[in-house]
Structure formats: C-alpha cells, structure tokens
Structure 1
Amino acid sequence: MNIVLFEEGEIEAGYLPNNDDRVEHVKKVLRRDVGESFDAGQIHGKRGKATVLEYGSVSMSLRFDLEIEEPKLLPIDLVVGLSRPQTMRKILNEATSLGVRSIRFVVTERGEPSYAQSRLWTTGEWRRHALAGAAQAFTTRLPVVSWGMPLEEALGAFGCSDERLLALDNYEAMTRLGLAVGDCEAIALAVGSERGWTGPERQLLRERGWQLVDMGKRVLRTETAVVAAVGVARELMELPLG
C-alpha cells in the first residue's frame, strides 16, 4: 500500500491494536521506528502524515497530521454485470485505483443470480478490496458501491443530466468508445457480465438512451474491459489535472 488508510474513529482514538495488519505493515514493510512518520489518510477525508509514538504491548500509538484535501473522484460511473466473485474483487480494486465515483454491480440475464449473495457482499469483504485500490492509488476516496439491483432499475438512475451514456458491446456497437467519449464532462459506462448482453438488454439500453460502443473486435474479460474502458475515458475527457 502506498498510503495507510484509517477510519475516523481510529484517528480520534490514536492507536491500532497489534493484531491489525496495518501495524505489521508499518513495522515490517515501512520499517518505521518510534518518532518516524509515514503517509496516512482518513477514509473519504484528508491525508498527510502519521507519526509512531509507541509500540506498546497491545497496540501502536499514533499522532496524525492530516491537512491535505483530496481531489474529487472522476465523473465516471460504472454499471457492471455481476460476475464471479474473483472477477468482482479485481474490478473493485482496479476501478477504485482509477478513480471512478460509483460502481453499480447489477443482475443481468446472463449472470448467475447467486453472485449477488456471495460472501464478498454479505460479509462486507468488498470494502477491503476497494480500500486496497485506494491505498494503491495514494488516495483516501472510495467510490459509492452498490450491488444486486436489476439492470433496468440501475439504468433508471441515469438520463436526467448531461452525462454521456455508453455501453460496451462486441456485436451491435455503432462506433468506437474513443470516438463516442468526446469532450463530455461526465460519463457512465456499462459493461455486461462475463457472457455479455442479451438482445432484450441491448434494446433496453438503447431505449434508455445508451449508445452501444466497442474497443475493437477482441473479446475481453469483464475486468479487462472495465479497466481498458475507464482508461480510455479518463484520458479523452477534458478533466483537470490533479
């Protein structure tokens, strides 16, 4: 991890129990002694430095100096068909690292309904993967994440603004993703589950104002398509640096 992230309550308390993986990281990976500092941040808040005050018998004591405001997340919203848990873990990590502001994992006709009841979601494990992505990207901000709603319901959240609506599809796309992005200020990207969209889903997307686009003829894994599409979008959109 490139930054160690803390909950607000942990910062207020000023310590971590020794059985916390972050204590091991500070001691064994960062190799910080008492009096030394490391990069730290409050989840969804400011970042800066944390200083080790003591390695005690039961906890590590810390002092925080967090003054740096984090930039907003990118105006990119993802709609992704629920897939196998290992695929979702990768997307949570990588999409968070890339800086998207929301991810909706939706039930599609070709996705297994049981994926929405995976332990990844029911135990809250998903947040750990998002936190790992944020720590990798040296940021404190996490996207808004939801899962389990039907595709049609998720699409209802879009279409009332100037956000450009683009759905990846290898079969009926009318243009390339790069040509469709243009100079828009916000974008929503829809990526199907591991077996793609059905005919009725393509029709639903069109009816709701989504444009079918592709990134070439090669069929990509869901997690690869998400990373590639967000990379193309963030490079082509007229986004401020920082």
Structure 2
Amino acid sequence: MNWILIYENELQENLFVNLTDQRHTHIQTVLKKNLEDQIQVVIPSLGNFLFKIKTFSDSSTTVEKLNLLPDVLEPLPIHTFFSLPRPQTGKKLLHLAGAYGVYSVYFYATETKNKEYWTSPVYTKETLSHLETGLSQTGNCRLPSVIQEKSFLWKNFLKDWKGQVLVLDREGTNFHSLLKAETELLDNCLFVFGPESGWKPEDILFFHENNFPLISLGKINLRTEFAYSALLHQLFSIRNSFHLKLKI
C-alpha cells in the first residue's frame, strides 16, 4: 500500500480524519511513520494529497490534509467486459481495474460459466475492497464502476454498446499496431475478454456478423488476469507516448 485511501465523507471540517482500522496499522507498522510525518493520500474522485500525522496512539492515528498534489496517474478511459471468472481471478482483475482507473468492469455469466461463482465473497461483500487495493497501490483516484449481470444476455449487451467493441482473441489483429494507428479507439471503447477455454465457433461468427474486431495480444495463451495486465500496460504506455509526442 503506497497510498492511504480516504473517502471525502470521512473528513472532519474537510481537514482531519481519525483512522482506527487497517490504515492506522499500516501507517505505524509498515510505513513506520511518526508524529508530524507526512503521508500520501488518495481521495476517490478528488485526487492526490499530502497529509500530516497530528496525533498518534496505539489504537488510532489522526491525520490532517495539507495540500493537493499533481495527479500521479491519468486513468484509462476504457470499459472492460469479462466472462464471469473464477473468484481468485476476479480478485486480481478488480485490483488491476482499480490500479489503472478504468471506467467500468462488467462481469457476465456466459453460457460456459459456473453460476456458483456469483456466491463468492469476491462478487458480494469484498468487491469494493479489491478495487481499493488498486487505488492504494498506484494513487489512481478514479473508482471504477462494477456491474454484475446475472440474467441479461451478454450478446445483446454487446450489440447495444454505444461505442467500439474490441474482442480479445489470440487469432485477432495485432493490438499494438492497431492502437498506434488509431489512438481514438480508446474513446468509450469496450474490451471483451472471454472464457479461458476460448471462444466457441458460434461466438466468433457472432463477432464477425456484428463487425466486432478481434484483437490479439500475441500468439500465446494467457490466463485472464495476465491478458488484462498486458492490455492495460500497453494502453497506458502507448497513450503516455502519444501525449509525449504531442507536447514535443
């Protein structure tokens, strides 16, 4: 945890917050901070801040907001769709979504998925906490939306999407070259990840019939969380490179 995550509604007089949970423990035992030391804080939707430790005890830490910091990370303006993954995979996907600040994460139960996954704490009471670990890691201040759809047909959802739909598939067009040529693809774009067993022939036919491009991250099979990490890293790197060229 590189950043302490604090919500705006926790602030007293818009300045102070008293921490008594794992954040207090982290400041004392991991960051090893002392009275009057400064800590980096991320407040979702507001930005990055410096806070100072004002009081210290065995059970609590009170911190005071000092000043706003420049944003450390420009969130990725994309949406992501997943065929309902195993809970341990879902946990990693949520962490990555929070780390990079995507707009939204959609989980859909496609035909091949085990519907019992929905009962996991990852998709019930722990969803927000896994997003928060990502924000705390990178300092991203955008909290992604998570939509869990248990009944609406996923193919209808894709057809109704108001923007570009790009489907991840090993046999698709090289994504890196595609994005370098068309950086505007990021605008309201939905990246679709299927089951780790691969798309069925009827799914591929559906994508072709609806003009949903297939894109590839390479000719090797990747677990869903590794493919997602690779995609986010490429998007982040290419966008930053594009911004740098514009400034020059």
Identify whether the pair has TM-score above 0.5, normalized to the shorter chain: yes
Deviations 1:121-140 (A, max 9, x none): 221x1211111111111222
Partner of 1:183: 182
**Any conservation in 2 of the 1:41–1:66 contact (CA below 8 Å)?**
no
Q: 1:193 aligns with which of 171, 195, 202?
A: 195
Count, aligned residues: 235
Bigger drift between 135-144 and 196-205 goes to: 196-205
* Residues 1:235 and 1:37: Cα distance change in structure 2 (over 3 Å): closer
Instruction: Label 1:66 to 1:209 Cα distance change in 2 as closer, same or farther (>3 A).
Output: farther
* Pair 1:113 & 2:112 matched: no
Does 2:42 correspond to 1:41?
yes
Q: Which amino acid aligns with 1:147?
A: Q
The residue correspondences of 1:142-181 to structure 2 (distance < 5 A) are 142-149=143-150, 150-158=153-161, 160-161=162-163, 163=164, 165-170=165-170, 173-181=171-179
Deviation digits for residues 91-121 of structure 1 (CA, Å, limit 9, x no counterpart): 1112332332221122112221222232212
Q: Please name the residue that 2:83 is paired with.
A: 81
2:177 maps to amino acid: L
Q: Which residue of 1 aligns with 2:136?
A: 135
User: What is the aligned partner in structure 2 of residue 50 from structure 1?
Assistant: 51
Deviations 1:170-210 (A, max 9, x none): 3xx34222233232321321111222222232233333331
Structure 2 unaligned residues grouped into runs of 5+: none
Q: Any runs of at least 4 consecutive aligned residues in structure 1 with deviations exceeding 4 A, and if so which?
A: none
How far apart in 1 are the matches of 2:134 and 2:67? 20
Letter in 2 for 1:167: V
Q: What percent of counterpart residues are identical?
A: 26
Q: Is the 8 A contact 1:4 1:135 kept in 2?
A: yes
Q: Secondary structure at 2:50's aligned position in 1? A: strand
Tell me how far 1:57 sits from its aligned partner: 6.1
After TM superposition, give the deviation of residue 56 of structure 1 in Å.
4.0
Q: AA paired with 1:177? A: F
Query: What is the CA deviation profile of residues 58-112 of structure 1, one whole-angstrom value per residue up to 9, with x for unaligned ones?
Result: 5322211242364652122211111110001111112332332221122112221
CA distances 1:155-183 after superposition (whole Å, capped 9, x unpaired): 1452x34x4x221123xx34222233232
Query: Distance in 2 between the 1:36 and 1:236 partners?
Result: 37
| Partner residue, 1:62 | 63
One-letter amino acid matched to 1:183: E
For 1:27, the aligned partner's letter is Q
**Structure 1-normalised TM-score?**
0.85
Taking only aligned residues, the RMSD between alpha carbons, in angstroms, comes to: 2.5
How many Å apart are 1:41 and its aligned residue? 2.2
3-state SS of 1:155 partner: helix
Judged with a 3 Å threshold, the aligned counterparts in structure 2 of structure 1 residues 110 and 32 are, in CA distance, closer, same or farther, namely: same
> Higher helix fraction: Structure 1 or Structure 2?
2
Query: CA 1:41–1:88 in 2, change beyond 3 Å: closer, same or farther?
Result: same
CA distance in structure 2 between the partners assigned to 1:156 and 1:106 by the alignment: 14
* Matched position secondary structure for 1:120: helix
TM-score, normalised by the number of residues in structure 2: 0.83
Residue 3 of structure 1: aligned partner: 3
Could you tell me which runs of 5 or more consecutive residues in structure 1 were left unpaired when the two chains were aligned: none
